[in-house]
Structure 1
Amino acid sequence: MSGNRDNDTLTLVDNSFGRLPDHLLIEIFIRLPVSEWAQISCVKKQWASLFLGECLWHAAIMRTFPSASQAKRWLGPIPRGLSKRRFVALYVSKHIIVLDDEIDEIVGHTYLFLKEQLELSTLPPPSGILHGTIIADQFISCGKSRDVAHELASQIWLAVLDNLEENLHTFLVLKRLALEEDVFLPFPYSRSIKVQWRVFEKLFTDFRDCFNHADYYDVLAIAKNKFQPIPSAWLGY
């Protein structure tokens, strides 16, 4: 029965939308909830190709973030990217990192950059370098003060840490960050205390079962040196 319903749905789709030109399909799709776009793109090859192209994402930016078309390009190592990446960055800056109702596109791009560095690399660059010479300096080059730049860097680190998938790779990255020595790089070129705390908090709560005996006590010893007192919830292997 379910197979018949699926066939009926596809027939209805073909009859209703099959002859619509691409620009009308785009206007329909960008008015639907973003949460449904992935499912819509799987219905037909034609629709999938629209989600792979620039036109749909450019139209989505113009509809959802009309002021973004006036945004100037920025200096620094983090690129603006094509329309799909820009849409995702704008969505992040509105829904994940909230800055007093302000949508700052570069914040979203920096979030994506850091998340990719931590998710895709088998050996991510030292977090101090990411925090102090790439991320914060990117904001400084865009006109932010040094204090604001480093506060933004910390907020982005916290948001990324909270949105990493709970898998073995994330555990290994977090463990590496916990074991990383910050003694040669004073703040603001090392991670802020809030970011360091979140790394250990996630290790001792979300990833406790991933530790072996030796690693657990190594990381716990570092935590005791960094934070006094430490939460009782972190104790007990």
Structure 2
Amino acid sequence: MTDRSDGPIGRLPEHLIVEIFIRLPVSEWVQIACVNKQWANIFEGDCLWQTAIARNWPSAGLQKRWPGPIPRGSPRRRFQALYVSENLVPSGGEIDELVGHTYLYLKEQLERPAMPPSSILHGTIIDQFIACGKTGEKAHDLSSKIWLAVIDGLEENQKTFLLLKHLAREGEFFLPFPYSRSYKVLWRVYDKLFTDFRDCFSGADYHDALSTAKSRFQPVPSTWLGH
């Protein structure tokens, strides 16, 4: 990585470079930031992210900070959350920044070496949405969508296999609605285990997991059977 670009773009004022960058596909931003230190510094600062938010989601600048345990964060974090809300979590065409922040929060918690129990994570998400005025039913629905989006976005590797096994093995907590665990989420956990990660099981582990699945879902899909 060089200190500065010697090309035409490198000689432009920084605010014009920002205007160019935010019009390029987001998928290319990581590569662009690696070209030289000047461009890396632009992506590390707040100006680019604030400008990108203003261009892509003009109304986001009018949103106030919300109460609850999940903060709004830096401009870069806000951009990531808005991008997630628009592209990864279906919400009926609405762009809800809080949904994106909740997705990022859950994803980071699941990646921790000592992951909190899923019931705690689910409860935190429910509390966050209720604190922001959502009904219990809406909070539960949004939480389920976020869990499903995070689970579907996990890479297919040994770490994910162990995470899914952990989620499947967690005990049932008989909590009142909306704090009760989502049936759809638990189903997706088992479905990914028995379809995407079937070859990762030992024989004994597979039969233990299948026995637990049968105690929770009747009937189980034929695609879950056979090892």
Match of 2:60 in 1: 68
User: Is the aligned partner of 1:108 residue 2:100?
Assistant: yes
Unaligned runs of 5+ in 2: none
Map residues 113-128 of structure 1 onto 2, 5 A cutoff.
113-119=105-111, 121-128=112-119
SS of equivalent to 2:220: coil
**TM superposition shift of 1:17:** 1.6
User: Is the aligned partner of 1:84 residue 2:76?
Assistant: yes
Deviations along 1:1-40, one digit per CA (max 9) or x if unpaired, are xxxxxxxxx9xx6231221121111011111111111111
SS of equivalent to 1:15: coil
Size of the aligned set, in residue pairs, is 224
After TM superposition, the runs of 4+ consecutive aligned structure 1 residues lying more than 4 A away are: none
Which structure features the higher share of helix residues? 1
Partners of 2:163 and 2:7 lie apart in 1 by 50
Give the TM-score taking structure 2 as reference length: 0.95
Indicate if the aligned counterparts of 1:129 and 1:190 stay in contact, CA closer than 8 A. no
Look up the equivalent residue of 1:176 and give its one-letter code.
H
Map residues 125-164 of structure 1 onto 2, 5 A cutoff.
125-131=116-122, 133-164=123-154
Indicate if the aligned counterparts of 1:178 and 1:196 stay in contact, CA closer than 8 A. yes
Partners of 1:48 and 1:236 lie apart in 2 by 50
Partners of 2:90 and 2:209 lie apart in 1 by 32
Match of 1:23 in 2: 15
Map residues 163-178 of structure 1 onto 2, 5 A cutoff.
163-178=153-168
Partners of 1:78 and 1:110 lie apart in 2 by 7
Look up the equivalent residue of 1:96 and give its one-letter code.
L
Deviations along 1:111-137, one digit per CA (max 9) or x if unpaired, are 000011112x12311111211x20011
Partners of 1:82 and 1:174 lie apart in 2 by 31
Partners of 2:84 and 2:200 lie apart in 1 by 30
Give the TM-score taking structure 1 as reference length: 0.91
Deviations along 1:89-108, one digit per CA (max 9) or x if unpaired, are 00011111121211110000
Counterpart pick for 1:197 among 187, 190, 210: 187
**TM superposition shift of 1:183:** 4.0
**Which structure is larger by alpha-carbon Rg, 1 or 2?**
1
**TM superposition shift of 1:185:** 3.3
Look up the equivalent residue of 1:68 and give its one-letter code.
A
Counterpart pick for 1:43 among 32, 35, 39: 35
Map residues 186-225 of structure 1 onto 2, 5 A cutoff.
186-225=176-215
Unaligned runs of 5+ in 1: 1-9
Match of 1:3 in 2: none
